[in-house]
A = this chain, B = another copy of it.
Amino acid sequence: MRDNPRLLPPGGDGWLAWLRNYRLAWLSGDLVAGVVTAIMIIPQSMAYAMLAGLPVQIGLYASLLPLIGYALFGSSMSMSVGPVAVTALMTAALLAPMASIGSAEYLQLAIWLALMSGVLLFVLGLLRMGFLANFLSHPVISGFISGASLLILLSQLPHLLGMDRMPTTPAQLVEQWHPGSGLALAMGLLALAWLLYARTRLAAHLHSLGVNQAVAGVLARLAPILVVAVGMLLTVGFDLAEQGVPVVGSLPAGLPSLVWNTPQLETLGMLMLPAALISLVSFVESVSIAQSLARRKRQSIDPDRELLGLGTANIGAALTGGFAVCGGFSRSGVNIEAGANTPLAGVVSAAVLALILMTIAPVFASLPLVVLAVVILVAVAPLIDVAGLRRTWRYDRREGATLVATAAGVVLLGIEGGIVLGVGLSIVTQLWRGSRPHVAVVGRVPGTQYFRNTRRHLVEIEPQLLAVRIDENIFFANTRAIERAIFQALCDYPDTRHLLLILSAVNHIDSTGLDMLGELSLGLHEKGIDVHLAEVKGPVMDQLADTDWLRTLVVNVFPSTHIAFNTLSEAAPVAVASAE
C-alpha cells in the first residue's frame, strides 16, 4: 500500500489531468476501445431512442457530444455515457402525459428535459451536492432498476409480434395478427436465441477456438451488430418491409445540427420535477457504474465531478437534439474490456459515430424494429436482480420488503411513486431500527478489565453500582425506550446507589435525548441515586460540556468502565450467574 493507485487516476488529480499528462502508452487502448464501443452502441442507442418514443436517429445524435462533454469534467476513466434503458423509459413515462409520442412537440420536450437535467446536474455539481445520492439505499436502487426493467420488458413485447400495442385477449391477438407478425416473431426468436447464446457461451467457445480471452469477451459483446446486419440483409433481400414487418423507416444522413429553442417559463416549470427525477436516477446509476469500474482499476471517482460531467453530457445531448443520457452498464463494460485508459476512448467513439452518421446511416432505415426490441430485451433482462433480492431478504427482511415495495411501486404507481415509496420506506426502516435500542446491564468478566452483558455472560457486579450500556445513539425516536429500559434495570437491581451510563456506542445525543437524561437524572438525584458516565466519545463530550445536565446532575465522567468500577465499588464484588 506504499502507493495507493486507487486514489490516483492516471495523470493524477485535477481538471483534465488525464489529458494534460497523457502518455503515448495509453493511446492504442483508447483507440481500440473507442472504435469497438462505437460499433457496439449503434444498435443500443437506436433501440433506446425507440424505447423513449423518439426517432431512432435521436439515439445516435445523443451519443456524440455527451461523450465529449463527459470527458471534459467526469472523473471516471472508463465510463461510457449515452442513452440508457432506464432514462429512456423515464423520458417516455414522464413526457407521455404532456405530449403525444411521435409528435414534434414531444421531441422538443425530450430535448428540453435533457437540457434541464443537464443544467440541474451541473449546478448540483458546482454546489458539491454529490452526497445527495447517499439517500438512496441499495435496496431502493435495486428495486427501482428491477421494476423499471420489468416495465421495459413489457413495453417491448408487442414489437416481437410486429404490433404497435399488446393484445390483451386471444381474440384481439387474432384480430391484430397481420402477415408481418409471423415473420417478425420468427426473426425475433432467432435473434433472441443468438443473443442469449452470445451472452452465455460465445466468449468461451471463441476462447476454446484459440481466440485470446479478452478479445473473445469483446467479440461476444459485439454480437448485436451481427443481428443488426443480418436483420437488415434479410429485410432488403426478401423485401420484408413490403410484407408487413415494421422497420425503422427513413433515417437521414449527416450530423445533427446544433439546435436551440428557448422554452417558455411555463414549460420549464412543468419539466422541473421530471428533470429532477431523471437527474437523480442518472446520477445514482452513473456513480454506481463509475465506482464499480474504478474499483476494477484501483482508481477512485469523485461524485461532485461526476455531477459536472453528467451535466455537461446532458447539455451536450440537448444541443444536438438528443435526449437524456447517463453512464451505461454494458457500453462501459465493453469500453473497459476493450482497453480504455482515459476518456479519450469516448472521444474516439464519438468521432467514429459521427463518421457513420455522415456515411452509412441511411442503410439502417431497413432495420426491423423487432431486432431493436430483442436487443433491449437481452440488455435489460439481467437487470432484474433476483439474486440481489434473495440476498437482501436473507440479510434483513425489512430491507427485502423495501426492495420489493420499490419495484412494485415503479410498476404499479409509476417511476415517481416507486422512488418516493422506496426512499420513504428506507428512511422509516432506519428510524424504526434506531427506535428499538439495545440496552444492556453489564458486569465485569472475572479477572479482566472487560465488561459484558449480564444476560449473555457470567460476570461480576457490584450491588450498589448499576452499569448500563446504551447501544444506540440517543435521539427522539428512542428516548422513551431507553428511559423505560433504565427504569426496568433499576427495578431489577433495587440496591442501586450509583447509576453508571456507559456511552461507548453512543455517537450522538440530540436535544430530546438530553431532556430525557436531564429529567431522569433529576428524579434519581432526588431519590439519592448518583448518575455517572463512562466512555463518552470525544465529539459527544464536546457537545455535552456546556449543558446544565453535565454540570449539575452528572457526578463523575470516567474514561473507562473499569476505572468507574474501581472507584465506585464499596463492597466485595458479587458473582452472578448468566441470567437467561
- Do A477 and B134 touch across chains, with their CB atoms under 8 A apart? yes
Surface stretch bound by B, among A2-10, A183-191, A227-235, A357-365? A2-10
- Do A137 and B512 touch across chains, with their CB atoms under 8 A apart? yes
From known contacts A438-B537, A546-B394, infer whether A487 and B300 are also in contact, taking CB-CB under 8 Å. Answer: yes
Q: Does A63 contact B (CB under 8 A)?
A: no
From known contacts A137-B476, A537-B505, A538-B456, infer whether A510 and B1 are also in contact, taking CB-CB under 8 Å. Answer: no
From known contacts A505-B537, A508-B433, A523-B295, infer whether A134 and B449 are also in contact, taking CB-CB under 8 Å. Answer: no
A1-33 interface (Cβ within 8 A of B): 1-4, 6-7
How many angstroms between the C-alpha atoms of A35 and B490 in the bound complex?
Answer: 37
How many angstroms between the C-alpha atoms of A434 and B426 in the bound complex?
Answer: 14
**B-facing mask of A99-119, CB < 8 A → 1, else 0?**
000000000000000000000
Q: Does A155 contact B (CB under 8 A)?
A: no
- Do A514 and B395 touch across chains, with their CB atoms under 8 A apart? yes
* Residue numbers in B under 8 Å from A511 (CB-CB): 137-139, 391-392, 395-396, 399
- Do B435 and A134 touch across chains, with their CB atoms under 8 A apart? yes
Q: Does A450 contact B (CB under 8 A)?
A: yes
Q: Does A427 contact B (CB under 8 A)?
A: yes
- In chain B, what residue has the closest Cβ to A137? B476
* Residue numbers in B under 8 Å from A303 (CB-CB): 480
**B-facing mask of A472-505, CB < 8 A → 1, else 0?**
1101111111000001001101111000000011
- Do A504 and B504 touch across chains, with their CB atoms under 8 A apart? yes
Of B1, B395, B480, the residue contacting A529 (CB under 8 A) is B1
Q: Does A507 contact B (CB under 8 A)?
A: yes
**B-facing mask of A110-148, CB < 8 A → 1, else 0?**
000000000000000000000101111111000000000
- Do A7 and B487 touch across chains, with their CB atoms under 8 A apart? yes
- Do B487 and A396 touch across chains, with their CB atoms under 8 A apart? no
User: 6 closest A-B pairs (Cβ-Cβ)?
Assistant: A137-B476, A138-B512, A2-B494, A1-B494, A505-B505, A137-B512
Chain A interface residues (CB < 8 Å from chain B): 1-4, 6-7, 131, 133-139, 295, 298, 300, 303, 391-392, 394-396, 399, 426-427, 430-431, 433-435, 437-438, 449-450, 453, 456, 471-473, 475-481, 487, 490-491, 493-496, 504-508, 510-512, 514-515, 519, 523, 527, 529, 537-539, 543, 546-547, 559-560
Selected A-B contacts with CB under 8 Å, 26 pairs: A1-B495, A1-B496, A3-B494, A4-B494, A6-B523, A131-B435, A131-B480, A131-B481, A134-B476, A135-B477, A136-B476, A137-B475, A138-B512, A295-B523, A298-B523, A298-B527, A303-B480, A391-B511, A395-B547, A396-B510, A430-B476, A430-B477, A430-B510, A453-B538, A456-B538, A505-B507
